[in-house]
Amino acid sequence: MATRLKVGGNAPAGDIQALKVCLDELGDHAAANGLPLAATLIGAAARAIADEILERKVQERVSYKHEATRFNA
């Protein structure tokens, strides 16, 4: 039975990270069992989620910089 990793509590970012971890493990399992198409498709989904995580981090940084600039004026 799989267990859910506690990554970031109940925050949506934590859920996204947990989903990426699960997809990575599933992709590894598919590759180990000789299912290259499944491993490729799962890997593509994991990379798309990694891109989403990166995009959210960049948006957070831009938001923080904007707030800091506004309060320093």
Chunked mean pLDDT (size 10), the chain, 73 residues: 48 83 96 97 96 89 69 60
In a domain, 57, yes or no: yes
The whole-number pLDDT of residue 15 equals 87
C-alpha distances in angstroms, 29 versus 4, 21, 53, 61, 64?
A: 17, 12, 23, 35, 39
The whole-number pLDDT of residue 41 equals 97
The whole-number pLDDT of residue 36 equals 97
In a domain, 7, yes or no: no
The whole-number pLDDT of residue 20 equals 94
In a domain, 66, yes or no: yes
In a domain, 23, yes or no: yes
Asked whether the beta carbons of 36 and 72 are under 8 A apart, the reply is: no
In a domain, 50, yes or no: yes
In a domain, 56, yes or no: yes
In a domain, 4, yes or no: no
